Structure 1
């Protein structure tokens, strides 16, 4: 059976080895998944056809058995009536129906192992498809992360980024120079709070001196 041979070839394929050799693992993985899904669909279609043939054969067995029983009854009835010739003819028809049932049963028996094999192959294909899809998802996540990191690396090492960094450093130095100039104006000048405290102390001395003068004058 071509479909079974094809499925076996796909199942036996060394997926990991193929992925290692592939220039584009994602593309190969997607193609393998499509091939496996196509094989799985063929497998199921073939199994459905075999099941249909089995059911037809089983109906033929049932019909042949019923017909055989009918011809047996007719043969007995003919003998009861003394018609041995009719009984013989009935038994010949009965034998034909038995042969039909045997042929149909042989077809059922022949289809059974093929169906069992197809069922096993379908399970293996389904398992392989799930494994490859999981690998494909992991590969896509790794690819997206790698592309994001590469973009960041390229951006950080680009001429535009280096130029922007230099401009920022120059601006930072300019701000620092302006701050330094502002602070330089305060060098050599009393602190405002210190002047305020000195004035308060002077005012206190003036008040005490005025009180002392008043006391002496009294």
Structure 2
């Protein structure tokens, strides 16, 4: 064997050895499982935060409805006493509470929908984690078996490491693992989008200071008229 041929053979061997280390399916799946586990932990944290947000929104919704009922009672009492100004103030408060309740209802529904989607994603990811963990064990066994076979072949041939058919199982497994990584990467991308969008759940509307609304006066008048009719029908 000429010196140039030997150099070419050694260079090729070194190149393949490096590629095999980079494409080792056992190493890749091990790293991938760690990444996926971190994503699951992050999603579970978001799930806990969304549940807390939903609980807060439910409590606020109940409070707004209670305050709206209380304001209506105060308006009726003021009307019975002939206090038109106090009745208008109470009706204005009721309308603000009802508006806040509507905004809270919308935020609560959005949060619940996010929870449903996140729970489904989490369940799927956990199932995939279990499947990939088992797959990694299988790949490790196959890689070990292929390596042992290659070592036996080299010992029998008494030659330097070759890179023919004995290496094809490792390359094939790496391809299979890479395709699995791509599929799971798409799933993780969906998680990232969902996690980013979940921030909107925590900015659910809160009742701020009442702003001057050009339509509030007519709304108050309409509500007062309804209450007057309610009083008249009750007599």
**TM-score tier (shorter):** 0.5 to 0.7
Equivalent residue, structure 1, for 2:181: none
Shift of 1:140: 2.6
State the match for 2:55 in structure 1: 55
Partner of 1:94: 94
Structure 2: how far apart are the matches of 1:102 and 1:43? Answer: 29
Alpha-carbon distance, 1:145 to partner: 4.5
Q: Which residue matches 1:179?
A: none
Q: Secondary structure at the match of 2:109?
A: helix
Deviation at 1:113, TM superposition (A): 2.1
Equivalent positions of 1:1-218 (< 5 A) are 23-146=23-146
Q: Using the TM superposition, give the Cα deviation of residue 141 of structure 1 relative to its aligned residue in structure 2, in angstroms.
A: 2.9
CA displacement, residues 115-172 of structure 1 (integer Å, 9 cap, x when unaligned):
22111111221121111100111223334445566677777888xxxxxxxxxxxxxx
| Higher RCO (Cα < 8 Å, 6 or more apart) | 2
Query: Could you list the runs of 5+ residues in structure 2 that have no partner in the other structure?
Result: 1-19, 159-235
TM-score by length of 2: 0.52
Q: How many residues matched?
A: 139
Larger-Rg structure: 1
**SS at structure 2 position matched to 1:82:** coil
Distance 1:77 1:85 in 2: 12
* Distance (Å, rounded) in 2 between the aligned partners of 1:118 and 1:74: 43
Q: CA RMSD in A?
A: 2.6
Tell me what 2:228 maps to.
none
Give the distance between the partners of 2:34 and 2:102, measured in 1 at CA: 42
